[in-house]
Structure 1
Amino acid sequence: MDKKHKLILVEDDNALGYLLSEYLGMKGFTVTWAKDAAQAILKTKTNVFDLAILDVMLPDMDGFELSQKIKSINPELPFIFLTARSLKIDVLKGFSLGAVDYLKKPIDEEELVVRIYALLARLVNDDPQEEQASQYEIGDYLLNMDNFELNYKGKPIKLTGKEFDLLALLAKNKNQLCTHKEILTTVWDKNDYFNKKSLNVFISHLRKHLSQDPKLSIVNVSRRGFMLRVEGE
Structure 2
Amino acid sequence: MQNTDYQIAVIEDDPMQRETLVTALQHQGFKVVDFADRRSAEMHFDKNLPDLVISDIILGQEMDGGFDLAKHLLSYNQPIPIIFLSERQSEFDIYTGHALGAIDYLPKPISLNVLIVKVKNLLRITSSSKEHGNQHQDKSVIDGLEIESNQYKAYWHKKPLDLTATEFEMLKQFATAGEGSVVTYDSLQASTQGVVERNTINTHICRIRNAFKKITPDFNLIHNEYGRGYSWQQKDKP
TM-score bracket relative to the smaller structure: 0.5 to 0.7
1:88 Cα deviation after fit: 1.2
Amino acid at match of 1:90: D
Alignment of 1:121 with 2:111, yes or no, is no
**Where do 5+ consecutive residues of structure 1 fail to align?**
131-159, 170-184, 191-233
What is aligned with 1:212?
Answer: none
Alignment of 1:92 with 2:90, yes or no, is no
Distance 1:116 1:186 in 2: 14
1:73 Cα deviation after fit: 3.8
What is aligned with 1:10?
Answer: 11
CA offsets, 1:68-97, max 9 Å, x none?
112214541111111011111111111111
Equivalent positions of 1:51-200 (< 5 A) are: 51-61=52-62, 62-73=65-76, 75-129=78-132, 187=197
Secondary structure, in 3 states, of the residue corresponding to 1:86?
coil
Distance 1:36 1:189 in 2: 38
Moved over 4 A (4+): none
1:107 Cα deviation after fit: 1.0
**Where do 5+ consecutive residues of structure 2 fail to align?**
134-184, 202-238
Contact 1:114 1:186 in 2 (8 A): no
Amino acid at match of 1:104: P
What is aligned with 2:22?
Answer: 21
Secondary structure, in 3 states, of the residue corresponding to 1:58?
coil
What is aligned with 2:150?
Answer: none
Root mean square deviation, CA, Å: 2.6
Distance 1:71 1:60 in 2: 22
Amino acid at match of 1:117: K
Distance 1:9 1:23 in 2: 11
Number of equivalenced pairs: 142
Amino acid at match of 2:55: L
Secondary structure, in 3 states, of the residue corresponding to 1:106?
coil
Amino acid at match of 2:130: D
Which entry has the higher C-alpha Rg, 1 or 2? Answer: 1
CA offsets, 1:3-59, max 9 Å, x none?
521000000011100000011000011010000001110111122310011110112
Amino acid at match of 1:76: P
Secondary structure, in 3 states, of the residue corresponding to 2:74?
helix
Secondary structure, in 3 states, of the residue corresponding to 1:31?
strand
Amino acid at match of 2:89: S
Amino acid at match of 1:119: L
Superposition TM-score, scaled by structure 1 size: 0.55
